[in-house]
Every structure is written in structure tokens, then in C-alpha cells.
Amino acid sequence: MSDLGHVLVLAGGLSYEREVSLRSGRRVSEVLRAAGVDVETRDTDASLVPSILADPPDAVFVTLHGGAGEDGAIRSVLELLDVPYVGAGPDACRVAFDKPTAKVVIRSVGLHTPESVTLPKETFHDLGATAVLGRIVERLGLPLFVKPARGGSALGASFVRTAEELPAAMVGCFAYGDTALIERYVEGVEVSVSVVDLGDGPEALPAVEIVPDEGVYDYAARYTAGRTEFFAPARLTSAAAAACAEAAVTAHTALGLRDVSRTDLIVDADGVPHFLEVNVAPGMTETSLLPMSAEAAGRDLGELCRSLLQNATNR
């Protein structure tokens, strides 16, 4: 049996990624119980704070995606309540959750990341969409990838092949956020590298290669079984795999993250990884990438989650 005592798994929330979060929470709760941990799963509603004050958990595992789950807000509350939790602190979350800001940090430590333009909705409308988008195409070229500056699960994200597709992609993006990140598309192998730190420093798990059946790793491709083929470990040369591992650990460290993160990369034809984004609360569903990485590394997911919780309590 675990010596952790009572553990709380937070799942749900009110973001667009609520359903994914609930699935992640169920999975984490299941594997922790199998590892002998006393687990309670709770949503983030008005009863949460009184419940924690009445019966403080020994540690919290946050499986909230998007919004308050990754922007540091719920972690600020947990710190106010003096409850240990798995994952990065509030300040690091705020930087990592904002993709354009994270890209600035990533460039400062020498990693590659696609050239991009960040465009708030107000600017898009006030300056005239046609003129602004035309200049973006001239500057970045085609194809492009458009996604909300904050958020995850590829909600509001679009692959843009032609200039004519860009206006609709922007409208779709603004449905999920007030600021769009428009990136030059980098051709290559899409991989995801999870990083865990159990107290001895950050360590990259094997990269997972992502091959969507329709070419784009969108929301449906992420969470519908059979829509995407995964290879764990990724089918990379040893040099490229090492470069991806180094890039993920560098991103984790530069952004001030802790315990666990997942970095998404594109590996170009020369084996160079290009940083796309980092996730401070990686998905833990049946089709999520961190569990695949753990399995490829020969690690039991329940034991890994239990160790992350123990590390949090040790802090």
C-alpha cells in the first residue's frame, strides 16, 4: 500500500477541454488505485475549497486541461491552501500556457521554433482582415498553421494550404480565443516528448511519433481511437531522437517547469527538432501521449503517477 495517504485528483473544470480532462482524471484515478493509493476525484466547483479545508489531501494530481488547469490559476489556489500538487508552479504555467511567450523563451535558449505572427482579434478586425492576412502570407509563406495563442487539444487549430483558406482559419481560431498564433508550417515528423522529474532532475521519456490518418493531428485525431497511428518510440535516427530528448528537457528547464511536462516538436528532414508548444498538464487518456511514452520506457503508469505525487509531498 502507498504511504501517501489521501490523494485528490482534480478533473473537469469549465474549459473547452472539460471532457478530455474528465477522461484524464478517470485514468489517473484508476492507475493510482491499482498502485495502492487512496484516491478521490473532484471537479473544480464552489465546494472544492471548503472540502479541502475540511479534509486536506496529502497531495493533489491536477488533470485539468486548458484554462484554469494550465494557466496557473488553480495552482495559485492550491498554494493558498498550502496543499502540495504535481506540476509546475503558477508563474511557470502562465508563461508556458501562452504559446507566443513560450516561443520567445525557447528562442532565447537556442532552440528552433517556426517563424510566426501573433494577432489579437481586435487588430484583425480594426486594421482590415484582407490587408493584414495578405501581408502574413507574404511574410511567412504557405502552408501555415493557425491556432489559439492559449489552449490545447488542437481546438480552433487549422492547417492552411492556400491564402483563400486563411480567413476561415482565423475565424475558427477566434472561436476558442481572442489571440491567434499563425506559424510557418514546418514539414517533417511530428513527435511528442514527455519529461518527468522524480527528484533527480528532468528526464525525457521516449518520443512518440504521431501519424494522423488525414494528415492533421486535430481534436478528432487526438481523442478518437483509430484515427491516428502512433509509434513509441518514434521512428527516428538515434541522433534525431537524442536531439528531441535534449530539446524537451531544455524547454522544460528554460520555462521553469517541474515534475512533468510534454513538448510537441516537428523533426525536419535534417533531423532538427522545431519546438511547437509545451503542455504543463499532459493528457492521460487512453489515446494520450505521456502514457504511451511511459509504456515505451517500461514504466508502470500508476507507479509513475505515485512517484510524482510523492515527489510533490517531499517538497
List the binding residues: 264, 277, 279
Residue 305 lies in a domain: no
Q: What is the pLDDT of residue 153?
A: 67
Residues 202 and 266 placed together within one structural domain of the fold: yes
Q: Give the mean model confidence (pLDDT) for residues 263-280.
A: 97
Q: What is the mean pLDDT of residues 236-265?
A: 98
Q: What is the pLDDT of residues 17-60, one digit of tens each?
A: 899 999 999 999 999 999 999 999 999 999 999 999 999 999 99
Residue 137 shares a structural domain with residue 27? no
Where is average pLDDT lowest: 116-120, 221-225, 299-303?
Answer: 221-225
Catalytic site residue from 21, 158, 194, 288: 288
Query: Do 51 and 108 have their domain in common?
Result: no
pLDDT, averaged across the chain: 93
In a shared domain, residues 144 and 292? no
Same domain, 108 and 233: yes
Collapsing DSSP states into helix, strand and coil, what is residue 297?
coil
pLDDT for residue 1 is more than 50: no
Structural domain boundaries enclosing 269: 94-112+187-299
Give alpha helix (H) positions in 175-288. 219-223, 238-254
**Residue range 283-303: mean pLDDT, rounded:** 95
Residue 175, domain member (yes or no): yes
Question: What's the CATH code of the domain at 217?
Answer: 3.30.470.20
Q: Which of 184, 204, 239 is the last residue of a domain?
A: 184
Q: Of 15, 153, 192, 194, which one is the catalytic site residue?
A: 153
* 264 and 197 assigned to the same domain: yes
Number of separate domains in the chain: 3
For residues 12, 13, 16, 20, the Cα torsion angle rounded to the nearest 10 degrees is: -20
- What's the CATH number where 165 sits? 3.30.1490.20
Residues annotated within the binding site for Mg(2+) are 264, 277, 279
pLDDT one-digit tens code per residue, 128-159: 778 889 999 999 999 999 999 998 768 899 99
- On whether both 278 and 213 belong to a single domain, the answer is yes
Whether 100 and 209 map to the same domain: the answer is yes
Alpha carbon distance 141, 30 (integer Å):
46
pLDDT for 287 equals 86
- Residue 71 and residue 153 in one domain: no
Task: Indicate if 288 belongs to the active site.
Answer: yes
pLDDT at 224 over 90: no
Give all strands (DSSP E) within the chain, no chain letters.
Answer: 6-10, 38-42, 59-62, 116-120, 144-148, 158-160, 179-184, 189-196, 203-204, 208-212, 228-231, 260-267, 273-279
- Tell me what the mean pLDDT of segment 194-202 comes to: 96
Sequence-distant (6+) residues with CB within 8 A of 93 are 70, 71, 72, 75, 87, 280
**Which member of 17, 70, 183, 209 is catalytic?**
17
264 falls within a domain: yes
